Structure 1
Amino acid sequence: MENTQISNETDNHAAQISMIAALNDRLRQTYWGGKVMTTSGVSALPDEIQIQVFRAVSEFDTFTEENDPHGEHDFGKVEVAGHSFFWKIDYYDNRMECGSEDPTNPDVTTRVLTIMLTGEY
């Protein structure tokens, strides 16, 4: 009985991580399902470079144990026009006052994708 309970908890956790990753991928790939922020360093770059950065972030698919240890697809690094950028997705409650209690539930979670120069991290 105990092994079955552990197995069910593991399966449930894996399903939650999969849902979080899918919601994060949707935001990153379509810029829909949350808010998108850029740092002052990114905003100061020419529009053409910013467009390239947004494209690179949306096309990012190189998730590894090093950059995605929890499997949530919530962090990555891209190189554009000689600059290095990090992107990060955080999960807040809908009032943006604290972390979301359930990042698998888009009804109670506001996702925020932040794109920054690596030196701004």
Structure 2
Amino acid sequence: MSEPLATGPFHGGRVAEQNDRFRRSFGADPTLPGRIVITQGVAALGAAALVPLMTALIRFDDFTEDNDPFGLRDFGAFEIEAEGRAVRLYWKIDLFDADERFGSEAPDDPDRTRRVLTLLLPEEW
């Protein structure tokens, strides 16, 4: 039987664990289908920003009640150096059905859920 999606702050259970695995593998964990999407603003940072961006995303662990009120580990913000300046980025994981058309009805079931992690600039939110 699957665990509930969330029962209050920081009780995301299986969904939180799966979101962490997906993010930390940069979408390369074959047991958690999904993809990584970057916005035009992030793409404009150039190829040199990709390594610090990926490193910051994979290492992110600054979850608080403000940025993760349901304990799902599906959002975060961090800064990287790009072109000699500090750039703030957001990331967000959305959970879709297997066809990526609607929200997943079983977010803790990897066979029925596709994760889409979007990296974006705050002004693109």
| Alpha-carbon distance in 2 for matches of 1:89, 1:111 | 6
Structure 1: gaps spanning 5 or more residues: 1-10
Check if 1:30 corresponds to 2:25.
Answer: yes
- The superposition leaves residues 58-79 of structure 1 with CA deviations (integer Å, 9 ceiling, x where unpaired) of 1000100000000000000010
- Which structure shows the bigger proportion of residues in helix conformation? 1
Contact 1:38–1:115, Cα closer than 8 Å, also in 2 = yes
- The superposition leaves residues 5-29 of structure 1 with CA deviations (integer Å, 9 ceiling, x where unpaired) of xxxxxx8555x82100011001110
Contact 1:88–1:115, Cα closer than 8 Å, also in 2 = yes
- The superposition leaves residues 77-96 of structure 1 with CA deviations (integer Å, 9 ceiling, x where unpaired) of 01011110000000000111
Please report the TM-score for the alignment, with normalisation by the length of structure 2: 0.83
Identity %: 39
- In structure 2, which of residues 99, 103, 110 is the aligned counterpart of residue 95 of structure 1? 99
| Alpha-carbon distance in 2 for matches of 1:17, 1:86 | 20
Detail structure 1 runs of 4+ shifted over 2 Å in the superposition.
Answer: 11-14
| Alpha-carbon distance in 2 for matches of 1:65, 1:17 | 12
RMSD: 1.5
- The superposition leaves residues 41-71 of structure 1 with CA deviations (integer Å, 9 ceiling, x where unpaired) of 1111121212211110110001000000000
| Residue equivalent to 2:124 | 120
Larger radius of gyration: 1
